[in-house]
């Protein structure tokens, strides 16, 4: 039985993950730590956990094996590093950190302690996305020359995000940016998984409609590879649901389109350019949900899904950080040549 704690409750995604943890027979939810008392009270009421306002106090009082990190991006990385150093396995919500320095510190702590570090991406548990990635990596559509992902909605507040979530999402320091970091991260990690670290990045970002924010409400991030160009789009002002959350992978022999709501995966070929639906196989139990996947990785020491591997997410963080610099400077920025990390 793996004993879990939670550090941070202000990221609304935590309330999607906790029911799965409660239902998993291999996990026991023991304690929660947060600075927001209403959120602690909710966790205590719904899950019967011991509550704390300080993670050090929780560490001194509880015997834990692993923690979920669901605060803001900046404090989350700081708490994740401390958790690893305490000997806890860590599952942290995407994108990993508020900046590259925080991401690097997390990876260093995981490497030093030997504890597992997994990043949760909601799209990682969509069967159509998993299958699209597997097909593209197997050469099913030939040489991949573009990855495109558009993440968009009307805005966190308009979409019903809690006041505690919006409080830091709209803060460039605690979030790490605005829409660019929040939503271009998906395209960045998908491109990293399929094509590796890009040669250079450029971006544009701005406050197009929400001019009262301190951060951008729209952004486009462009990643340049030797033989590919990848695009990550982000919007906090989009009204429609016609073009959001679609994963598109273009290859020399075909195209894959993973649709969000209906779970369909479409494929186009030279013979059938209009596209057709292909079967998406059922996923193994540990590939369907983040808690099951995290526990499987702890128990077996197997690599996490490529989207959830800390090294890939570190590189996505690098892409985002340099993209933000490029958007501010109006210049294309070359990435430093580093040894790639899994």
Helix (H, G, I), strand (E, B) or coil at 287: helix
pTM (2 decimals)?
0.96
pLDDT one digit per residue (tens) for the chain, 342 residues: 999 999 999 999 999 999 999 999 999 999 999 999 999 999 999 999 999 999 999 999 999 999 999 999 999 999 999 999 999 999 999 999 999 999 999 999 999 999 999 999 999 999 999 999 999 999 999 999 999 999 999 999 999 999 999 999 999 999 999 999 999 999 999 999 999 999 999 999 999 999 999 999 999 999 999 999 999 999 999 998 888 999 999 999 999 999 998 999 999 999 999 999 999 999 999 999 999 999 999 999 999 999 999 999 999 999 999 999 999 999 999 998 765 544
Structural domains of the chain, with CATH:
2-121 (3.40.50.720), 124-289+315-334 (3.30.360.10)
The backbone torsions φ and ψ at residue 304, rounded to the nearest 5 degrees and listed phi first, read -70, 170
**Cβ neighbours of residue 189 closer than 8 Å, sequence gap 6 or more:** 94, 95, 121, 307, 312, 313, 316
The backbone torsions φ and ψ at residue 136, rounded to the nearest 5 degrees and listed phi first, read -65, -40
**Cβ neighbours of residue 172 closer than 8 Å, sequence gap 6 or more:** 178, 214, 215
Pick from 73, 79, 28, 77: nearest CA to 53: 79
């Amino acid at each position: 039985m793996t004993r879990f704690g939670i550090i941070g409750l202000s990221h609304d995604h935590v309330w999607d993950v906790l029911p799965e943890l409660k239902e998993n027979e291999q996990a026991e939810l023991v304690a929660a730590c947060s600075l927001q008392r209403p959120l602690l009270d909710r966790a205590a009421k719904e899950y019967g956990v011991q509550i704390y306002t300080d993670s050090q106090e929780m560490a001194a009082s509880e015997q834990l094996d692993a923690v979920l990190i669901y605060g803001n991006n900046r404090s989350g990385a700081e708490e994740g590093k401390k958790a690893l150093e305490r000997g806890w396995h860590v599952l942290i919500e995407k994108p990993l950190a508020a900046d590259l320095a925080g991401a690097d510190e997390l990876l260093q702590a995981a490497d030093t302690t030997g504890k597992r570090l997994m990043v949760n991406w909601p799209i990682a548990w969509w069967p159509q996305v998993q299958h699209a990635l597997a097909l593209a990596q197997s050469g099913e559509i030939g040489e991949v020359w573009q990855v495109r992902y558009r993440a968009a909605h009307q805005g966190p507040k308009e979409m019903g995000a809690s006041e505690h979530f919006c409080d830091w999402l709209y803060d460039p320091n605690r979030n790490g940016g605005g829409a660019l970091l929040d939503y271009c991260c998906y395209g960045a990690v998908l491109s990293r998984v399929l094509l590796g670290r890009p040669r250079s990045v450029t971006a544009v970002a701005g406050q197009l409609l929400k001019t009262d924010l301190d951060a951008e409400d729209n952004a486009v991030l462009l990643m340049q590879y030797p033989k590919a160009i990848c695009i990550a789009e982000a919007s906090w002002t989009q009204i429609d649901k016609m073009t959001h959350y679609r994963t598109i992978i273009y290859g020399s022999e075909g195209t894959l389109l993973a649709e969000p709501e209906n779970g369909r995966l479409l494929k186009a070929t030279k013979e059938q350019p209009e596209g057709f639906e292909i079967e998406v196989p059922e996923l193994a139990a540990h590939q369907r949900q983040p808690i099951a996947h995290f526990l499987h990785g702890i128990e077996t020491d197997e690599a996490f899904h490529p989207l959830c591997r800390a090294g890939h997410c570190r590189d996505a963080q690098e892409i985002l950080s340099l993209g933000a610099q490029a958007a501010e400077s109006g210049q294309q920025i070359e990435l430093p040549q580093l040894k790639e990390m899994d």
